[in-house]
């Protein structure tokens, strides 16, 4: 599947700043109810060890977030956030251009808000929960290519 880089615009001290970022739209669902799929926008982050998503998506899917296994995630500059791990279904679709890919893995739900400079972003797609299931090619600034590994099932 081929995904474009997304042009992100923000204003810093009244100056317009545009960047191209590897954001993709993906679906998440609770394996207990595979028909209820939500579609957050996530940043493909090849150095993130874990995938984490805003808690509001998890709550909407019926998870009791704080019943998950709590772990501490370290970020840039030593920032720390707590996430709660849950088994989640993930679906990738490419607007009918390719077949959908589905997988289930652990992701962390976070109560920490994503930066106001990136209000559309609601997830970080890291190794655990996402990247380890795919072969990913970053061809900046043109596209991101995501290919399934042999262990994935087509839906």
Question: Residue 18 pairs with which residues in a beta bridge?
Answer: 9
Q: What is the pTM of this model?
A: 0.84
64-123 pLDDT per residue, tens: 999 999 999 887 777 788 999 999 999 987 666 666 788 999 999 998 776 665 656 789
At residue 125, the pLDDT reads 95
Mean pLDDT of the chain: 87
Q: Kindly write down the DSSP assignment for every residue of 85-146, as one continuous string.
A: EEEEEEEE--TTSS--EEEEEEEEEE-SPPPTT-TT--EEE-TBTTGGGEEEEEETTTEEEE
CA distances from 125 to 11, 60, 111, 133, 136 (A): 25, 19, 16, 11, 12
For residues 126-142, give the mean pLDDT.
Answer: 94
Lowest mean pLDDT among 91-95, 122-126, 129-133: 91-95
34-71 pLDDT per residue, tens: 999 999 989 999 888 999 999 999 999 999 999 999 99
At residue 142, the pLDDT reads 94
pLDDT tier, 150 (very low <50, low <70, confident <90, very high otherwise): low
pLDDT at 152 over 50: no
Pull the structure tokens for residue 31. Answer: 């394996």
Task: Report the alpha-carbon distance of residue 45 to residue 128 in Å, rounded.
Answer: 11
Domains, the chain, with CATH or none: 2-154 (2.40.70.10)
At residue 93, the pLDDT reads 77
């Amino acid at each position: 599947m081929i995904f474009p880089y997304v042009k992100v615009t923000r204003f810093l001290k009244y100056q317009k700043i545009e960047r191209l970022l590897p954001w993709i739209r993906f679906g998440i669902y609770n394996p207990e109810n595979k028909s209820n799929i939500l579609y957050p926008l996530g940043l493909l982050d090849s150095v993130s060890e874990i995938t984490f998503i805003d808690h509001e998506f998890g709550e909407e899917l019926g998870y009791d977030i704080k019943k998950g296994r709590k772990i501490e995630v370290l970020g840039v500059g030593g920032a720390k956030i707590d996430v709660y791990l849950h088994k989640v279904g993930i679906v990738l679709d490419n607007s009918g251009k390719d077949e959908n890919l589905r997988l289930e893995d652990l992701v962390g739900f976070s109560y920490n808000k994503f930066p106001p400079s990136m209000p559309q972003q609601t997830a970080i797609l890291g190794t655990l929960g996402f990247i380890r299931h795919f072969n990913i090619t970053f061809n900046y600034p043109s596209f991101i290519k995501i290919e399934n590994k042999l262990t994935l099932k087509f839906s």
